[in-house]
Amino acid sequence: MHDDAEWSRPSPGRSGLRADAGLALVLAIASVTTALLYARTGMYPGAAEPWVWAVGLGLATLPLALRRRYPVPVALVVSVGFFVCGQFGVPEVLIINICLFIALYTVGAWERRRGLALWARLGIGVAMIVWLVITLIIASSSSDYFEGISRSGIFSAYATYAVIQIITNLLYFGGAYFFGERSWNAARNQALLEARGRELELERQTSAAQAVALDRLSIARELHDVVAHHVSVMGIQAAAARRSLERDPARAAEALTVVEESAGTAVDELRRLVGTLRDPSKEASAPTTIGLAHLSALVAEAQSSGTPTTLIVAGEPRPIPMLVDVALYRVVQEALTNIRKHAGRGATAEVRLRFGEESVEVEISDDGVRQELAQRSRGSGLGLRGMRERVGAVGGTVQAGRRERGGFLVRAAVPVAPVSSGSPASPTAAPVG
């Protein structure tokens, strides 16, 4: 972002320099033409020598070719040319006045050092006014200037003419100052608006990229939770069916039934996920089978897959926000999946759901053998990372690690404001059955 105090107008570029050179050339030719016309009228008796014409008109016009690159030096040179023309009788007043105005305007509009711009214009303006006043004083005592104009009295015709000249010059220099400052401020404000526009566009692109990344992260978590859970169940049951296929066909058939059901459930959840991605408006109306109200089904599924699991609910169940409900359910689902994968044969699991006054907490523990814990620690960590991301998104925390008496423990807690009896309920989970 540009700072007002540090902003500097960019260089005009080649096209700008070519335009200034063309302007200077046009003004030089115009000044010579008008000078010849003024000389022809006979209004300037005793006109200066041609070389004085060349010096005065050249200094007043040609330096404007570099006016935007060197504003203050050009203004000083043009002022000298203006003085030469006026002091030594060059018969030209129109074009050189235009040139001086352009030079002073350019100092205000293009000089990057604002202090220098101020003092340069002030100095040139004061010098010109002083020169004018001295010239008027000298002319007031000489009858050769303005013959026939009364000079007697404070309110004489000549005094009135002098006042008009001073006022005209003050307006002239004041106008050059005003329009130069206005151009500088307009360019600065435009640059600030463009810089803010670029920053807003960059922020928009960053926000869009972050939104895409968050969506990808959410999809990755959902796929991991759905696929990992059901595939682990299918793997365990398929292994059980293989081992008992010959000696206990009925048990093998039962295990294969669980595999079939898990595969169907996984496909249904994947279809629901894909349908939500294709049409987000269906998310609110789509039936859901996840949430703390379905923990008993999740525990039963873990038991049927060969991991004895107990569900304990502490505290008074109460409605909680849907996002918290789903996040805690996914934590339990992922933790039970990890138990089946890593805790080893014969391990048992326990799921505790606690409803506190200001929080809801789930705790999943197992008594898996210690040699299996190292394998759990060497895993990809995607499951634990997904837990922390889900629970962190709703303001909660996740703790995971070994238990002192053996096994592994995952604890997730989310602050939930207590619901007063008279307040209306927001989208919530049903009580645990």
* pLDDT tens readout for residues 218-269: 666 666 666 666 676 677 667 777 777 777 777 777 777 777 777 777 777 7
Q: Do 237 and 262 touch, CB atoms closer than 8 A?
A: yes
Cα three-residue angle 67-96-145, rounded to 5 degrees: 150
Which amino acid appears at position 3 of this protein?
D
The pLDDT, as a whole number, for residue 285 is 45
A 10 A CB-CB count for 236 gives 21
Phi and psi for 313 in degrees, rounded to 5?
Answer: -115, 125
For range 359-365, the mean pLDDT: 93
Q: Which residues pair with 351 in a beta bridge?
A: 311, 364
In the block, tokens 């401020």 appear at 185
Q: For the chain, list the domains and their CATH numbers.
A: 13-203 (no CATH), 293-433 (3.30.565.10)
The pLDDT, as a whole number, for residue 287 is 44
- Residue (of 387, 383, 22) closest to 228 by Cα position: 383
The pLDDT, as a whole number, for residue 135 is 86
- Residue (of 411, 262, 413) closest to 335 by Cα position: 411
pLDDT digits (tens, 9 = 90+) for 310-358: 999 998 888 888 888 888 988 898 888 888 877 777 788 999 999 988 8
What CA–CA distance (Å, rounded) separates 70 from 72? Answer: 6
Q: Which residues pair with 402 in a beta bridge?
A: 408
Q: 100 is written with which tokens?
A: 């001086």
Q: State in Å, rounded, how far the first CA of the chain is from the last one.
A: 58
Q: Which residues, at least 6 apart from 373, have a Cβ–Cβ distance to it below 8 Å?
A: 342, 402, 407, 408
Which amino acid appears at position 55 of this protein?
V
Mean pLDDT score of the chain: 80
The pLDDT, as a whole number, for residue 229 is 62
Q: Which residues, at least 6 apart from 23, have a Cβ–Cβ distance to it below 8 Å?
A: 64, 65, 102
Q: Is the pLDDT of residue 378 over 50?
A: no
Using DSSP's 3-state secondary structure scheme, residue 309 falls into strand
What ranges in 42-70 are assigned the alpha helix state H? 50-61
Handedness of CA 3, 9, 10, 15 (dihedral sign): positive
- Strands 349-355 and 309-314 turn out to be parallel
User: Percentage of the chain with pLDDT > 70?
Assistant: 76
In the block, tokens 């009580």 appear at 431
